[in-house]
């Protein structure tokens, strides 16, 4: 059983649709899923997760939404070894570079993929489902390699 946390920002109606599609794709038999906006999430949520998924959209004034500011600060002094980070961007620009850099020294395993989900129809698209399956597979492989 894997505990999966999805943190995302900013909280807009369009982004909620995308996050719902990601959540549906991550709902699998071996997954306990928690979905929170970045402003609601805490470091305790991150520590309790096996897989942390970060979804973000570029804000007008910065490349990382301000809702992630506290996480960026906290990531400077903790270890997240044994966990896997997944990333997706929303909107028109990929936006996870600064967050990836902040997570580098935490020893979290970062997925290489950073898909851009710009709009979502009803249900999860095959692209979102395939990405979610690869993310869980990455964590499974890392976990088995450590065992």
Quick: pLDDT tens for 8-49.
999 999 899 999 999 999 998 789 999 999 999 999 999 999
How many structural domains compose the chain?
A: 1
52-62 burial code (b ≥16 CB/10 A, e <16)? bbbbbbbbeee
pLDDT in tens, 71-80: 999 999 899 9
| 20 vs 92, residue with greater confidence | 20
What tokens appear for 121 in the block?
Answer: 């129809």
Unique residue bearing structure tokens 């129809």:
121
pTM for the model: 0.92
The pLDDT value recorded for residue 142 is 85
Here the CATH number for the domain that contains residue 21 is: 3.40.50.360
Domain extent, residue 45, equals 2-146
Distances (CA, A) of 126 to 22, 91, 123: 11, 18, 9
């Amino acid at each position: 059983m894997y505990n999966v946390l999805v943190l995302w920002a900013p909280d807009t109606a369009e982004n909620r649709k995308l996050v719902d599609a990601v959540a549906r794709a991550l709902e699998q038999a071996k997954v306990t899923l928690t979905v929170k906006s970045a402003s609601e999430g805490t470091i305790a949520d991150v520590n309790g997760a096996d897989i942390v998924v970060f979804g973000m959209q570029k804000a007008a004034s910065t490349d990382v939404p301000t809702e992630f500011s506290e996480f960026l600060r906290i990531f400077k002094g903790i270890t997240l070894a044994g966990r896997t980070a997944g990333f997706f961007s929303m909107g028109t620009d990929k936006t996870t570079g600064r967050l990836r850099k902040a997570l580098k020294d935490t020893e979290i395993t970062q997925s290489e993929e950073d898909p851009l989900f710009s709009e979502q129809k009803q249900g999860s698209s095959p692209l979102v489902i395939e990405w979610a399956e690869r993310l869980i597979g990455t964590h499974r492989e890392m976990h088995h390699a450590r065992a």
